């Protein structure tokens, strides 16, 4: 009997027979991919180019039955499990060396019911898939800002973007989920069924099972919105950032206005002499009635003397994909993030200081203005811990050459450390790099203890551990 070595939950070698793998493969709607096979490299490759890990087998699932069989196989053999959906997670948690990857990327169906204003979404769907289907009906579910992001990881970590201030976070619009548990059972999670699991899924990441379907509430918006960019000289950064900060304090909820500090890409609406020079970009989207947008955005557009102002009507699907060319798969990435209740003058000074010494032309710092409907939900109503934040900052270090790893990572860490004194203790989980899992208790705050208890009920053996992991609190631990 042919045997080959894989990894168990602790990372130690475990032997699995070739016959067992072949039997698993034969029972799937999808297939098992192994090293050397044509689709193996595609399945194991994720968005962040610094991640280069090799599972021993990849189960390319076509539906929930494949997921159930993959989980049961992995548990039977004690194998390490990772779960890939969109593969966009910065920490590369979709893939681990050794063990078994559950690949959901082929499960991309989106079904919209315009009468009930709901959508059923499979876990491999990208935001572009969701937007294409919902916007056909002039409906939207609040998601992120990059159309190649996967809906699964985004949702399980919280999910915020251009419509969050108006309609809440992605998790605030989740009404049900189908979940394959660590026992290989398919269960439904909602307010009226397995409510503890439903609470934990809304911000607790992939700790509690493999979600095979999401049901979302939808809101009327689009298919056209007023959106676009205002680009300012970097020399005016202090004036622009302070004026932007003042604007968002009183802006209506329908307005999302974010700021990005980076070197100007060669955008067609920018004069060529600005290409490659540091700039301050204000990115705005209005989620309300088109006729109200001009007045709502006028104070933002009146700030300073911009190089370019291209705010105008756009299809929302186009706006959602506007930043895709700057975020293509394969580049090397390292992120650091902070939540802020307010942006102090000292923090703005640090933004300017570190934006003035970007280690790569692709590096940037963005600050999202959130709040609004996101803050209407009580901190303990879902697992998500950052409800009280009004700003989310991402120090987005991005580069192409492995020789630049040290400089780019050092820049991000130094800025993160320097800005920490004015930051909140919470951090957006989806922005955590692979070396920052130790901050989860602080990130989740008072919700962490409940998450650990729910983890202990639904995954006491920590089968799902290749994630921003929450250690299970078992009954014996509670008794101690």
The residue among 71, 103, 135 that closes a domain is 103
Residues 421 and 294 in one domain: yes
Q: What CATH number does residue 250 fall under? A: 3.40.462.20
Which tens digit of pLDDT belongs to each residue from 434-444?
887 667 899 99
Residues 375 and 398 in one domain: yes
Which neighbouring-strand residues pair with 119? 112, 216
Give the pLDDT score at 387: 96
DSSP-assigned states of every residue in 358-398: -SSTT-EEEEEE--GGGGGS-TTTSS---TT-SEEEEEEEE
Residues 267 and 376 in one domain: yes
- For residue 143 the two structure tokens come to 């998601």
CA distance 212 to 471: 23
Give the pLDDT score at 428: 96
DSSP-assigned states of every residue in 155-181: HHH----TTHHHH--TGGGEEEEEEE-
**Residue 471 domain-assigned?**
no
Residues 197 and 324 in one domain: no
**Residue 395 domain-assigned?**
yes
Give pTM, 2 decimals.
0.96
Range of the domain at 297: 224-437
- State the residue for tokens 């916007």: 135
Cβ within 8 Å of residue 158, ≥6 positions away: 169, 170, 171, 202, 203, 384, 386, 428, 429, 430
Give the pLDDT score at 1: 64
Which tens digit of pLDDT belongs to each residue from 345-404?
999 999 999 999 999 999 999 999 999 999 999 999 999 999 999 999 999 999 999 999
Residues 165 and 19 in one domain: no
- Check whether the bond before 128 is cis (ω within 30° of 0): no
**Residue 40 domain-assigned?**
yes
Which tens digit of pLDDT belongs to each residue from 120-161?
999 999 999 999 999 999 999 999 999 999 999 999 999 999
**Residue 319 domain-assigned?**
yes
* pLDDT > 70 fraction of the chain, expressed in percent and rounded: 98
CA distance 429 to 385: 9
Which tens digit of pLDDT belongs to each residue from 82-116?
999 999 999 999 999 999 999 999 999 999 999 99
β-strands 364-369, 219-220: how paired? unpaired
- State the residue for tokens 């799902």: 464
> Coil, helix or strand for 346?
helix
The residue among 103, 129, 164 that closes a domain is 103
Nearest C-alpha neighbor of 81 from the set 480, 89, 50, 72 = 72
Residues 255 and 385 in one domain: yes
Give the pLDDT score at 475: 61
> Coil, helix or strand for 410?
helix
Four-residue CA torsion sign, 65, 70, 71, 77: positive
| Helices 290-301 and 237-250, packing angle to 10 deg | 140
Task: State the alpha helices, DSSP H only, in 93-142.
Answer: 127-135
Inform me whether the pLDDT recorded for 259 exceeds 60. yes
Four-residue CA torsion sign, 261, 264, 265, 270: positive
Residues 405 and 343 in one domain: yes
Task: State the alpha helices, DSSP H only, in 121-256.
Answer: 127-135, 151-157, 164-167, 195-201, 237-250
Residues 210 and 284 in one domain: no
Residues 280 and 419 in one domain: yes
Q: What CATH number does residue 177 fall under? A: 3.30.465.10
Tally of domains in the chain: 3
Q: What CATH number does residue 98 fall under? A: 3.30.43.10
DSSP state, residue 53: -
Give the pLDDT score at 2: 74
Inform me whether the pLDDT recorded for 477 exceeds 60. no
Helix (H) or strand (E) holding 259: strand 255-263
Give the pLDDT score at 131: 98
Once rounded to an integer, what is the mean pLDDT over residues 290-304? 98
Q: Where are the beta strands (DSSP E) in 21-96?
A: 31-33, 57-60, 81-84
Residues 276 and 420 in one domain: yes
Give the pLDDT score at 480: 41
The per-residue pLDDT of the chain, averaged, comes to 96
**Residue 459 domain-assigned?**
no
Half-sphere CA count of 359, side-chain side, radius 13 A = 23
**Residue 445 domain-assigned?**
no
- State the residue for tokens 């291209």: 310
Inform me whether the pLDDT recorded for 332 exceeds 50. yes
Once rounded to an integer, what is the mean pLDDT over residues 38-65? 96
Give the pLDDT score at 478: 44
The residue among 40, 72, 103 that closes a domain is 103
Give the pLDDT score at 438: 67
Residues 229 and 213 in one domain: no
Q: Would you place residue 12 in the very low, low, confident or very high pLDDT band (cuts 50, 70, 90)? A: very high
CA distance 168 to 170: 7
Backbone angles phi, psi at 472, to 5 degrees: -70, 140
**Residue 272 domain-assigned?**
yes
Once rounded to an integer, what is the mean pLDDT over residues 6-21? 93
Once rounded to an integer, what is the mean pLDDT over residues 189-201? 98
- For residue 132 the two structure tokens come to 């294409």
Residue 264: other Cβ atoms inside 10 A: 22
Residues 279 and 297 in one domain: yes
Backbone angles phi, psi at 270, to 5 degrees: -100, 135
**Residue 448 domain-assigned?**
no
- State the residue for tokens 């802006």: 251
Nearest C-alpha neighbor of 443 from the set 400, 384, 399, 401 = 384
CA distance 363 to 359: 7
């Amino acid at each position: 009997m042919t045997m080959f070595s894989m990894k168990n939950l602790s990372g130690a070698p475990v032997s699995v027979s070739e016959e067992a793998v072949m039997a698993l493969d034969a029972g799937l709607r999808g297939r098992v991919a192994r090293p050397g096979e044509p689709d193996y490299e595609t399945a194991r490759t994720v968005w962040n180019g610094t991640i280069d890990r090799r599972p021993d087998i990849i189960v390319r699932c076509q539906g929930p039955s494949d997921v159930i069989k993959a989980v049961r196989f992995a548990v039977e053999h004690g194998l390490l499990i990772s779960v890939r959906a969109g593969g966009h997670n910065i920490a590369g948690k979709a893939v681990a060396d050794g063990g078994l990857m559950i690949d959901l990327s082929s499960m991309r169906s989106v079904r919209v019911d315009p009468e009930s204003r709901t959508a059923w979404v499979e876990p491999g769907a990208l935001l572009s898939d969701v937007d294409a289907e919902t916007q056909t009906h002039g409906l939207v579910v609040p998601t992120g800002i990059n159309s190649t992001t996967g809906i699964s990881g985004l949702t399980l970590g919280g999910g915020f973007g251009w419509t969050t201030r108006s309609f809440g976070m992605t998790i605030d619009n989740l009404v049900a989920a189908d979940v394959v548990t660590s026992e290989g059972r398919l269960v439904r999670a909602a307010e009226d069924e397995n409510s503890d699991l439903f609470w934990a899924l809304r911000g607790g990441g992939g700790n509690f099972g493999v979600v095979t379907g999401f049901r979302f509430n939808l809101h009327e918006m689009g298919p056209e919105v007023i959106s676009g960019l205002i680009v300012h000289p970097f020399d005016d950064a202090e004036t622009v950032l302070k004026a932007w900060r003042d604007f968002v304090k009183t802006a209506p909820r329908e307005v999302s206005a974010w700021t990005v500090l980076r070197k100007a890409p060669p955008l067609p609406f920018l004069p060529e002499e600005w290409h490659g020079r540091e700039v301050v970009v204000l990115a705005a989207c209005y989620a309300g009635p088109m006729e109200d947008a001009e007045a709502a955005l006028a104070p933002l557009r009146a700030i300073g003397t911009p190089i370019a102002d291209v705010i105008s009507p756009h299809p929302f699907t186009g706006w959602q994909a506007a930043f895709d060319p700057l975020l293509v798969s394969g580049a090397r990435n390292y992120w650091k993030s902070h939540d802020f209740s307010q942006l102090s003058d000292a923090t703005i000074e640090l933004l300017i200081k570190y934006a003035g010494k970007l280690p790569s032309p692709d590096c940037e710092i963005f600050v999202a203005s959130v709040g609004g409907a996101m803050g209407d939900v009580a901190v303990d109503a879902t697992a998500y811990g950052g409800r009280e934040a009004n700003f989310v900052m991402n120090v987005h270090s991005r580069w192409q050459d492995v020789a630049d790893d040290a400089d780019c990572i050092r820049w991000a860490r130094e800025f993160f450390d320097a800005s920490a004194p004015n930051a909140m203790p919470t951090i957006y989980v989806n922005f955590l790099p692979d070396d920052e899992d130790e901050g989860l208790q602080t990130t989740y705050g008072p919700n962490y203890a409940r998450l650990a208890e729910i983890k202990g009920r639904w995954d006491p053996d920590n089968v799902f551990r290749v994630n921003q992991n929450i250690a299970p609190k078992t009954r014996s631990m509670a008794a101690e």
